[in-house]
Amino acid sequence: MFTLHHTDGTARAGTLHTPHGDVPTPAFMPVGTQATVKGLTPEMVRAAGAAIILGNTYHLALRPGDEIVRDLGGLHKFMNWPGPILTDSGGFQVFSLASQVKITDHGAKFKSHIDGSPLELTPERAVEIQQNLGSDIAMVLDECPPADAEPDVIRRAVARSIRWAERCKRHHTRPDQAQFAIVQGGLNLDLRAECARELAAMDFPGYALGGFSVGEAPEAMHAALPHCAACLPEGKPRYLMGVGRPQDLLAGVAAGIDMFDCVMPTRNGRNALAFTDAGPVRLRNAKHRRDPAPLMSDCACYCCANYSRGYLHHLFAADEMLGPTLLSIHNISYYLKLMADARAAIADGRFESFRAACLARWNAPS
């Protein structure tokens, strides 16, 4: 499943092996929530440098339904993405999107955010959905309390997540799908270590850190990551779920994380906010109106190679679909280039100076 090529301090460069192809790590996974990376064709996602994408189990189970996706050939064929796909378990979306959520050991009962219909997500059902979708990597169902929840709430959620992980492993049958476990525990490092130890004993092919980026300060996450990553088995891929900004990804890589996903590049792109070496750029700002320069002069992405800031400003001012498409392409390209550069820096043993240079650029006054 995973080959480790280089380490540089605790940072790692490796290769993730999946039935739909290899993924160089550290890897960023663009988010294709509803069987599409919003506003982009799969060819655009690939051209931006993506090797693996993420699909959302909760959304796909609700619409179109996992059995329909299965009957139409599985998620890869359905959405015309021939490369690797990771699906989450749906747990996080139940807690963040659904209403009237009631959790017992059996599972989570809730009302659909689309039509209010009553639904249930159990560990077994989370496995079934993902087996129907046919992703290369599936995640176990976990309970995700906010980072600032009461210690007892977090402690009970960890215990339940461990029991649920066991049930997910037992229920899982697809040989062409790897199942990753998720370590919870909030900012309680002892709890994180204990959770990691118990899950490691079950010998999953990969491990994720869940429950970050849901309320805590970024500094608290950055401080906790080295400890949390060190608790995970060394020979297996490590995935930091739902994180984050470019500086958060580099903090994760420094701590020894191999995989990331986040909606920020696409969501911000749709909102006219671009990631650049000079920090965030807001294309709606009138100062770009007559600017013939590309968004970033040394970016090779389709957006920067062909369009001016003046044109991008116009597209957002005129509410044209091509604006969100072009900025999503740029932002995804930016994230993936960052991961490729980090990988090269790790191989060369200069990751910390690379990271320091990135942070200095992003924080420089423009």
Whether 88 is a known active-site residue: answer yes
> 8, 66, 88, 258: which is the annotated catalytic residue?
88
**CA distance to 119, 127, 204, per residue, from 137 (Å):** 24, 11, 11
| Binding-site member from 149, 189, 322, 344 for a second copy (CB under 8 A) | 322
The interface with a second copy within residues 227-266 (CB under 8 A) comprises: none
350 binds a second copy (CB under 8 A): no
Is the bond preceding 19 in cis, omega lying within 30 degrees of 0?
no
320 binds a second copy (CB under 8 A): yes
**Measured between alpha carbons, how far is 51 from 28 in angstroms, rounded to an integer?**
8
The interface with a second copy within residues 59-88 (CB under 8 A) comprises: 59, 63-64, 68, 71-73, 78-80
40 binds a second copy (CB under 8 A): yes
Helix count and strand count (H, E) for the chain: 15, 16
The enclosing H or E element of 143 equals none
Total residues at the site for a second copy (CB under 8 A)? 36
Residue 191 or 303 having the CB closest to a second copy: 303
**Measured between alpha carbons, how far is 232 from 186 in angstroms, rounded to an integer?**
15
285 binds a second copy (CB under 8 A): no
Window 123-142: contact mask with a second copy (x via CB under 8 A): --------------------
Question: What do you get for the CA distance between the two ends of the chain, in Å?
Answer: 43
The residues facing 24 across adjacent strands are 15
Residue 226 or 310 having the CB closest to a second copy: 310
For 218, other C-beta atoms within 10 Å of its C-beta total 15
Residue 63 or 197 having the CB closest to a second copy: 63
Query: Which range in 118-126, 231-239, 312-320, 333-341 contacts a second copy by CB under 8 A?
Result: 312-320
**Measured between alpha carbons, how far is 151 from 155 in angstroms, rounded to an integer?**
6
300 binds a second copy (CB under 8 A): no
Residue 49 or 186 having the CB closest to a second copy: 49
Query: Which range in 96-104, 199-207, 234-242, 316-324 contacts a second copy by CB under 8 A?
Result: 316-324
| Binding-site member from 17, 20, 38, 267 for a second copy (CB under 8 A) | 38
Residue 240 or 332 having the CB closest to a second copy: 332
Q: What's 146-199 look like in SS3?
A: CCCCCHHHHHHHHHHHHHHHHHHHHHCCCCCCEEEEEECCCCCHHHHHHHHHHH
Report which of 109, 68, 60 is spatially closest to residue 86, judged by C-alpha positions: 60
**DSSP symbols for 64-75:** T-HHHHHHTT-H
| Binding-site member from 315, 336, 338, 345 for a second copy (CB under 8 A) | 315
Whether 152 is a known active-site residue: answer no
Is the bond preceding 64 in cis, omega lying within 30 degrees of 0?
yes
Amino acid 272 reads A
Residues that bind a second copy (CB under 8 A): 34-36, 38-41, 59, 63-64, 68, 71-73, 78-80, 289-290, 292, 302, 306-308, 310-311, 313-315, 317-318, 320-322, 324-325
Active site residues: 88, 261
